[in-house]
Amino acid sequence: MPRTAHALSAVLAVLVSLLAALALATPAVAAETTVDVIAHRGSSGAAPENTLTAVRLAIAHRTDVVENDIQRTRDGELVIVHDTTLTRTTDVEQVFPERAPWNVRDFTLAEIKQLDAGSWFAPEFAGERVPTLAEWVNAVGRRAGMLLEPKSPELYPGIETDLDKELRSLPAFNRALMAGRVVVQSFDHVWLRAYKDLAPDVPVGLLYSNKPTEAAIAAAATWAQQVNPSLGAIDQATVEQVHAHDMEIHVWTVNTGTAMYRAIDWQVDGIITDYPQVLRDILRRG
């Protein structure tokens, strides 16, 4: 065989080997990138948190799941606000200067709807309003999953009943539930167990600020579907322990590329982030 033919044959052999290696590698890359992109309070790095604009932007950012926070008003309405007070994310101190300490539970829905929930973030969001739970559910609709978090439920006796009644009255929620795209989570595990007893068909997740013990994970597996800790509190062994008990693990709040790569490498099931567009781009690039 001429020397040029030998060289061509060698090049072809190398190309075939490279293609075979890429074919074998493809499933492994796919397995690493099947993590859910969860928008923390919507796309809260780019829009005022827990507003309908943040929800719409999260969907535009190709989010898999939108996370929220739920409080109850004085007249029993469920609204989407993270803090137990309205001071950080609205102009309540200007609108109602005599109503300190401005707790959510001390205001009616009509009063809360008067507040600007966008200007604190940036001037272009002036006029954003605090949404109700129903408005939020309808905004998410079929376009993403729902991760719902009642905040400080001890402040709102009976909120588990209110939450269940409200959600089941919404066709968008019922469709999402049937499609397996709903989870209710809480740091208050006693309250969450009471909610689970009331709504056994709704998947639930236990939030942790600290690293959950192996015993806590095993106990959670008897009634919960997710264990959702802070990424900074855990290690890869925690992820493996949760998976060993056939539960999912969704970590929060992951806002840097380095931390996102670490969570992906540990094969968590979901990453909760203020920047879903960044996480989506990382996953797209593999």
CATH of the domain at 259: 3.20.20.190
* Mean pLDDT of the residues in the chain: 91
Q: How many domains does the chain have?
A: 2
Task: Please say if 243 is a catalytic residue.
Answer: no
pLDDT per residue over 154-167, tens digit each? 999 999 999 999 99
Q: Which of 6, 61, 82, 250 is catalytic?
A: 82
Task: For residue 286, name the pLDDT band (cuts at 50, 70, 90).
Answer: confident
Task: For residue 11, name the pLDDT band (cuts at 50, 70, 90).
Answer: very low
Task: For residue 33, name the pLDDT band (cuts at 50, 70, 90).
Answer: low
Q: Let me know whether 70 and 174 are in one domain.
A: yes
Q: Let me know whether 7 and 54 are in one domain.
A: no
Q: Let me know whether 104 and 116 are in one domain.
A: yes
Q: Let me know whether 131 and 4 are in one domain.
A: no
CB atoms within 10 A of CB 6: 10
pLDDT per residue over 85-131, tens digit each? 999 999 999 999 999 999 999 999 999 999 999 999 999 999 999 99
β strands within the chain, DSSP E:
36-39, 65-67, 70-72, 78-80, 145-148, 182-186, 204-208, 226-229, 248-251, 270-273
Q: Let me know whether 71 and 20 are in one domain.
A: no
Q: What is the mean pLDDT of residues 181-192?
A: 98
Q: Let me know whether 6 and 62 are in one domain.
A: no
Q: Let me know whether 22 and 47 are in one domain.
A: no
- Residues spanned by the domain of 222: 33-285
In degrees to the nearest 10, what's the CA dihedral of 134, 137, 139, 144?
Answer: 180
Q: Let me know whether 167 and 213 are in one domain.
A: yes
Q: Let me know whether 176 and 83 are in one domain.
A: yes
Q: Let me know whether 44 and 18 are in one domain.
A: no
Q: If you search the block for the tokens 């008067």, which residue do you land on?
A: 114
Distance CA 43, CA 59 (A): 9
- The pTM for the full model equals 0.88
Task: Please say if 82 is a catalytic residue.
Answer: yes
Q: Let me know whether 22 and 98 are in one domain.
A: no
Peptide linkage before 101 cis (omega within 30 of 0): yes
Q: Let me know whether 24 and 47 are in one domain.
A: no
Closest CA to 185 of 224, 241, 127: 224
Encoding tokens for residue 201? 């068909």
Q: Which of 40, 61, 189, 250 is catalytic?
A: 40
